Amino acid sequence: MGNTFGQLFRVTTWGESHGPAIGAVVDGCPSLLPLDAADIQGDLDRRAPGQSHLVTQRKESDTVRILSGVFDGKTLGTPIALEIANEDQRSKDYSDVAAKFRPSHADYTYEAKYGIRDHRGGGRTSARETAGRVAAGAIARKLVAVRHGVEVVAWVSAVRDLVAEADVDVVTRAAVDATPIRCPDAAVAARMIAAVEAARKDGDSLGGVVTCAVRGCPPGWGEPVFDRLEADLAKAMLSLPASKGFEIGSGFAGTRLTGTQHNDEFYMEGDRVRTRTNRSGGVQGGITNGETVWFRVAFKPTATVMREQKTVSTERADTTITGRGRHDPCVLPRAVPMVEAMAALVVADHALRQDAIRRR
């Protein structure tokens, strides 16, 4: 019921922020893919809390255990169960939340839906849930890299009104990880870091944009009409905590161009069909055209701020609440591996779907 993603490469995440563990079950991964915990741990380390002063100081090793689906270093083709222990819960930090709804959180809506909620750290609604996605996405990333040479790289391209320009065809993970804000432009990154630090000291938070490039997809991935590749990417990205917008290629800026300005003209490069520009974002008619798939995801400012705000109690009385505990003043640095993971899950699923209809 909303906890499973994908058609052929299927992922179900489980667990709550302050429960004993969180994790994921991956079903549909083909057999014989070389895989061990180290293939997954690197991506989890990038998402983990406590990496720098720019993110929450909750201390979690996020050590993954593979419980099933792998034998002698290779996938079996059976469900792969992944477990990540919660090691540093401080449920007392959320005592006020038990009786009050936090502004712009899912406290009220979850109670309205289920009639009950786990207020400790937001329970299932916490960004802690995304550790399971990132673990599953690491498997998807390796699958498309080994089978198809596909590379997925995301980076912070904007914090509030600070914008960094980068070539989607050349940005590397090393350049992204060179700064704690995960922006490949060092000069702009320094200004972004200063802005986040200022917001944190002021008890406030900032939002921004993550850009992602998927390089190496062959032409033909994606399904017609309802399962267009960009439609599945949009759903994947908008399922992430704090995400508020998605655009692919030229996105909304394309509305300011004419058709002749916007069209990506074709040409032949040897025996390969190419486009001279890539305003389509590598997808036309919902199907990849062989160019880099690139898109942007907007993330709102972190909802928890260390200031007093007006709210309503669970008894439906007006009251106030002040943020407590350990929270990200800006979600963007840790959103980068989350965006990459969801992109990898989408392209892995569509790669398998294409294999199913074109297998000879």
Please report, in tens digits, the pLDDT of each residue of the chain (360 residues total). 789 999 999 999 999 888 889 999 999 999 999 999 999 999 999 988 766 667 665 566 899 999 999 999 999 999 999 999 988 656 566 677 888 999 999 999 999 999 998 888 777 888 889 999 999 999 999 999 999 999 999 999 999 999 999 999 999 999 999 999 999 999 999 999 999 999 999 999 999 999 999 999 999 999 999 999 999 999 999 999 999 999 999 999 999 999 999 999 999 999 999 999 999 999 999 999 999 999 999 999 998 898 899 999 999 999 999 887 667 899 999 999 999 999 999 999 999 999 998 764
- The per-residue pLDDT for 52 is 65
Which residue intervals of the chain are DSSP H helices? 37-47, 107-114, 130-148, 173-176, 186-201, 229-238, 259-262, 332-358
CA contacts within 13 A on the Cβ side of 171: 26
The dihedral built from the CA positions of residue 189, 195, 199 and 201, taken in this order, carries a sign that is: positive
Structure confidence at residue 84 (pLDDT): 95
**Long-range contacts for 104-113 (Cβ within 8 Å, ≥24 apart)?**
104/300, 104/303, 105/303, 105/304, 108/312, 111/314
**Structural domains of the chain, ranges and CATH numbers in brackets:** 4-358 (3.60.150.10)
Q: What is the pLDDT of residue 17?
A: 85
| pLDDT score recorded for residue 54 | 73
Radius of gyration of the chain (CA): 21
At residue 91, what are phi and psi to the nearest 5 degrees?
-60, -25
Among 347, 357, 234, 231, residue whose Cα is nearest residue 285: 231
Can you tell me the distance from the alpha carbon of 93 to that of 265, in angstroms, rounded to the nearest whole number? 56
308 membership: H or E segment, kind and range: strand 308-312
Task: Walk across the sheet containing 21-27 and list its strands.
Answer: 4-5, 10-15, 21-27, 80-85, 64-66
